A and B are shown apart, each in its own frame.
Chain A
Amino acid sequence: MGITKRTGTAFATLVAGGVLLAGCAGGGGPSTGATSELTNDKVVIGVLNDQSGVYKDLSGPNSVEAVRMAIADYQEKYGDDAVASEIEVVTADHQNKPDVANTQAQAMYDRQNADIILDVPASSAALAVSTVAAEKQKLYINIGAATMELTGASCNKYTFHWAYNTQMLAKGATGLVEDGGETWSIVYPDYAFGQDMLKSFSEAVEGAGGTVNESIATPFPNDNFATFITKAQSTNPDVIGTMQAGGDLINFVKQFNQSGARDTTTLAVGLMFITDIHSLGVEEFAGTTFTDAWYWNYDDQNREWADRFMEITDTRPSFAHAANYSAAFQYLEAIQRAGTDDADAVVAELEGQKIDDVFLRNGEIRADHSVAHDTYLAKVKSPGDVKEEWDYEEIITTLPAAQAYAPVQESCSL
């Protein structure tokens, strides 16, 4: 009990202190310039993601750095004219647990006065945070989660979906079918994400004139894919598509390569981050195709940003890092245009906005709050073609935003 009480007191002191401080700031007379338009006299950006689990490397702490970069760029751009004169970043680890995400999101909005929450990988956690955002009437820009639900049946006024979704990931399949990969076997993890991906990929393959011979559900999580690979091969498809992600993807690819299937079949991966390639090694993935939302070595603009990112983090950015940068920067731009950080005003500024930045090319925030932008069909290089560390991808085609994203979902009414 001793420890609990002490901790309790510490918390009480903290809270009391916070109240006092807030009181002082509020009573300290009118502040100068644009500051008065800000709630709590500052803009608080919350980054809520996985800082300890499987999604740590692809987003995690480095996304926080990306957001800091966005803030620095915003401050440099507007200097003394910046509406968001004081910007604070708060972070929390949701450990990939939706209940933790839910509590932390509430705490961010209530306790830390966050004006916006960014990222939140894992669909279940993202949906939980989206509900909180609607309830608290504060912004939430999702980056890490893929589910269409966010901009479908569960959409709401305060939630935006920035980087990618399951339908967009499937569009890459169209290109593969056109290149002769007509028959497919799809192996997918049997949970919401996997089923969404199966649906999207089947539609994309069939839409392009291909056929899906077989769709094979696997347990999730799972470390033994041997039987599923045998099954997937039993109809001799041109392409085997795997919808596994994270550790399961690595399991799958290792076992796929050893099964000898690689010699006869193209492997298409549903969702892959550059950090996945890095951890397993480019050799294991060589020749694999996938849809990427952004690649650091695509052009000079990307490369320049990736160089800055590398100076801070000592690693190359995944698309999630770049998307966090973009979302934070565009959010601050919207505050600048609105002249306030009031959530409704900012939402109004964001809606319908056309955006071009380092992450979003031909970007547009659409009616269901999904953000459409150009995406890329990528192929993992062979080890011989890799010129430097992290130089893993060859961009085969660019899919223009209009093609990459399916029409706005009708199930969403804001």
Chain B
Amino acid sequence: MSETVLESPKETRYLLDPAARRSRMIRRTVLLAVGLIATFLLPWMIYPPVAMDIAAWALFAISVDLLLGYTGLLSFGHAAFWGSSAYVTGLIAIKSGLPFPVAILGGMLAAMIIAVPIGWLSVRRAGIYFAMVTLAFAQMIYFVANQWKDVTGGENGLQGVPSNFFGIKLVESDSFYFYYVAVLLIILGAWAAWRIVHSPFGRVLQSIRDNPARARALGYDVEKYKLAAFVLSAGLAGLAGGVFAISHGFVSLQELDWTTSGKVVLMTVIGGMGTLWGGPVGAALIVLLEDALATSGFDGIGIITGSIFIVVVLLFRRGIWGTATLLIEKARKAIVSRKRS
């Protein structure tokens, strides 16, 4: 997804200009602080289970953005990892009674393991093919889960997933306190995504996104890098899916359905690809919208989300976050130039 929307950060500018570096530092710190405050205030402002959903979907969207925004790969089958992790997390929690962070870790690992063969096959194709192939593989996982009833419970799903947390009742039974424990895992995942993007590895990914041929010419094994990004992204999606499973106390086939993959892409694009912040914004918007519509008596959520999506893709391809930062940047420049003159 190069052209118009995404561009590599102008690293050289920051290397040469200490003032720019400092202002970036400040900007990042402020953003981080605002983000963290928002995360911690969320269950005060809205119903805690909904807040938990926002957090889980936010990390899921970040994981998609890692591929879409930073590697240029549109995965339309990410539900496979979110869902399989949800199932494995649920099974570990039910069968072993281990504390839920351990179960989620298990789910995350499972998602990454599944991502290896799927990714290996999928990264052989680029662009639109990649999207369609991942979609098809995710359907395969869906059918397997549907058939393998003894383990997954089939259409009835996995019921009664416990949220054991070292016997601390407050966390286990009160969704408000549960949020604060589980959201730490989400923050950890988001931090990991940030680290990946800003590491040398992340820069290679972005150069592959911008010009795969050049990256190959420079001696990078493009397929291997793509596969690594795919597996890491699957891990983050798995982490989010595990949290989602524990917070809901059950897992259903819906978690593996292709509409779930579609929904998370929707969130990422509406929020803004290639920004990391966009995913959470999109997730918050869509989850709150669904929550509000569920009790409104209006039965056509697709009409609203579909229209928003079309408008965003047509007119605001940077998404909400990207467009907002662009406008702020423009305003800032305008002020600076006025001051100078």
Contact = CB atoms under 8 A, between A and B. Distances in A.
Question: A–B direct touch, CB within 8 Å, in complex?
Answer: yes
Interface stretch (A4-12, A256-264, A361-369): A4-12
Interface stretch (A72-80, A92-100, A158-166, A318-326): A92-100
A-side interface mostly:
helix
A103 B300 contact: no
A2 B324 contact: yes
A111 B173 CA distance: 16
A190 B252 contact: no
A172 interface: no
Interface string B37-55: 0000010111101100100
Interface in A9-38: 9, 11-12, 15
A147 B294 contact: no
A199 B166 CA distance: 41
B155 to A, nearest CB: 4
Given A56-B299, A61-B297, A192 B156 contact: yes
B305 interface: no
A127 B255 contact: no
Contact of B157 (A2, A92, A95, A124): A124
Contact of A100 (B42, B44, B173, B290): B290
Contacts of B291: 103, 107
B320 interface: yes
Interface residues of A, number: 47
A104 B248 contact: no
For chain B, give the interface size range.
Answer: 35 or more
B46 A3 contact: no
Given A91-B297, A191-B146, A107 B249 contact: no
A191 B154 contact: yes
A102 interface: yes
B295 interface: yes
Contacts of A92: 294-295
Given A52-B300, A123-B155, A191-B154, A104 B294 contact: yes
Given A7-B292, A110-B47, 16 more contacts: A11-B45, A12-B46, A15-B47, A91-B297, A98-B254, A99-B244, A99-B254, A99-B255, A104-B295, A124-B155, A128-B248, A131-B159, A135-B173, A147-B156, A195-B154, A220-B146
16 contacts: A8-B42, A8-B46, A11-B46, A11-B47, A12-B46, A15-B45, A51-B299, A56-B299, A91-B295, A97-B252, A104-B295, A123-B155, A128-B252, A131-B159, A192-B149, A192-B156
